[in-house]
Structure 1
Amino acid sequence: MENKDIHLIEHLDELRQRIIKVVSAFILFFIGAFIFVQDIYNWLIRDLDGKLVVLGPSDILWVYMAISCVFAIAATIPIAAYQTWKFIAPALTKDESKVTLRFIPGLFILFIFGICFGYFVLFPIVLGFLMSMSAGQFKTMFTADKYFRFIINLILPFGFLFEMPLAVMFLTRLGILNPVRLARARKLSYFVLIVVSILITPPDFISDILVIIPLLVLYELSVTISKVVYKQRLVNEVTV
């Protein structure tokens, strides 16, 4: 009993150290992004006619911190994944440990791809649609706070959601998931993805559809990938 307590304390201490490393990396990346935040801000508003409005000094600080935070999250993902791998590696087999390590670069790449999809593809469509509704009816004036909240709420979830295929591939490779389970959970998964899309988009039907369709395609892509990986896993087991 005493040995178990000591073992648990050692695990908790290791977990604490790895969390500290991840948080420290996030802070460093945040500071680095904040140094260049004005250049990033100018690039993000390059297509806007005129300047954004702020209602107080705190809005300026919030916008700069929000931009820096998104960049810091993106940069911290591979470090957080690596620290997670280091923590669980002793419980994995040698083969599982190697496979898990290979997925870390993919997490970062897919997160960036999701952010880019949200910003370069989805955001202009949604913003253009909303602006067309106000054409000739309202005088449009964007505040910096509202504008960047809208961007972040729209694109940041896509960074994480685009990692779905890789996560499914990883869990299938470890035998935790399989295509049959994913097929059975299709209705529930569709429901969850639809709810997520409604929560992260403006309250209009077109925006919801524009977000729902890519998410459902991502899920079906995940199922297809799971089938391929599952078949390969069965072949490897038979060979062994």
Structure 2
Amino acid sequence: MTDANNLISHLVELRNRILRALLSVLAVFLCLVYFAEDLYHYLASPLMAVLPENASMIATDVASPFFAPFKLTLVLSFFIAIPYVLYQVWAFIAPGLYKTEKKLVMPLLVSSTLLFYAGMAFAYFVVFPLAFAFFTSVAPSGVTVSTDISSYLDFVLKLFFAFGVSFEIPIAIILMCWTGVTDAKSLRAKRPFVIVGVFVIGMLLTPPDVISQTLLALPMWLLFEVGVIVGGFYSKNNHSDEQEDNPATDN
């Protein structure tokens, strides 16, 4: 009976945490929805700046002028609310963690959020201008570049996600070192393969020009080096002896 009560109490707490996370996204959305068109205009600025004279974006679907800014605002609301959403995740799992795990997990949640934001900012301010300038410059003669607003939104959201995830490399390395999957010494030995790999990823995620591929590959390489340095302090051997017999119950 006690186990059943514990299970029910955990499920109730999980429900409350999920509801709080969803309400935070909704609250941000309600604050931003009035500015939906302005937000889309700001998102489209890197493309609009390189479109040919008298060219503009188009809407091929009747509802696109409404749904595209609405969708952008909803996704942006989630991105802005990520810190609070992750806090709810932390508050739910923290009572079952060891003290050494608590010392690692919370900084990782914060740093992973900042790195994800940094990846999105890098994509918007560095990659987008170069990529869209390249795309518009290679249009065949007689072809007018007029991008559909929904297609453009889907494209940039994919790039935002790709760059945001790519910037999580240090977090992934730290977790692998901490769990004993690998260690800093092994990763250093694989450095030549990593360098080739990041340039291949840069080629796949960016337009086919050397500049934008390099602009993604070099930060990924640098982030790999940072992850290796920091991961050396979180190897499994460094923390295995510090584990306590029971999970910590303090927050």
Q: Return the alpha-carbon distance in structure 1 between the equivalents of residues 198 and 218 of structure 2.
A: 13
CA positional deviation for 1:66: 2.6
Structure with larger RCO (C-alpha < 8 A, sep 6+): 2
CA positional deviation for 1:71: 1.6
| Pairs within 5 Å for 1:88-103 | 88-103=93-108
Letter in 2 for 1:32: C
Which deviates more, 7-16 or 204-213? 204-213
Aligned to 2:39: 40
Which deviates more, 172-181 or 67-76? 172-181
| Pairs within 5 Å for 1:1-240 | 2-46=1-45, 48=48, 49=51, 50-134=55-139, 136-169=141-174, 172=177, 178-179=183-184, 198=204, 200-201=205-206, 204=208, 211-212=216-217, 214-230=219-235, 233=238
Relative to structure 1, the CA distance from residue 41 to residue 214 in structure 2 (aligned partners, 3 Å threshold; closer, same or farther) is: same
CA positional deviation for 1:10: 2.1
2:198–2:220 contact (8 Å) kept in structure 1? no
CA positional deviation for 1:41: 2.2
Which deviates more, 188-197 or 12-21? 188-197
> Match of 1:45, SS?
helix
Letter in 1 for 2:171: L
Give unmatched runs, 5+ long, in structure 1: none
Which deviates more, 75-84 or 30-39? 30-39
The TM-score, its normalising length taken from structure 2, stands at 0.73
2:198–2:221 contact (8 Å) kept in structure 1? no
* 1:195-221 deviations in Å (ceiling 9; x for gaps): 7973x556x475666545544543343
Relative to structure 1, the CA distance from residue 116 to residue 195 in structure 2 (aligned partners, 3 Å threshold; closer, same or farther) is: closer
1:169–1:226 contact (8 Å) kept in structure 2? yes
CA RMSD after TM alignment: 3.7
Q: May I ask how many residue pairs the two structures share in their alignment?
A: 233
Which deviates more, 164-173 or 140-149? 164-173
Give unmatched runs, 5+ long, in structure 2: 243-251
The TM-score, its normalising length taken from structure 1, stands at 0.76
Q: Which has the higher helix share?
A: 1
Letter in 1 for 2:224: Y
Relative to structure 1, the CA distance from residue 125 to residue 184 in structure 2 (aligned partners, 3 Å threshold; closer, same or farther) is: same
Relative to structure 1, the CA distance from residue 154 to residue 163 in structure 2 (aligned partners, 3 Å threshold; closer, same or farther) is: same
* 1:83-138 deviations in Å (ceiling 9; x for gaps): 11111111223353244334443333222211110111111122122222115352
Relative to structure 1, the CA distance from residue 18 to residue 231 in structure 2 (aligned partners, 3 Å threshold; closer, same or farther) is: closer
> Match of 2:141, SS?
coil
Q: Return the alpha-carbon distance in structure 2 between the equivalents of residues 101 and 224 of structure 1.
A: 19
Q: Return the alpha-carbon distance in structure 1 between the equivalents of residues 223 and 236 of structure 2.
A: 20
> Match of 2:63, SS?
helix
Letter in 2 for 1:75: I
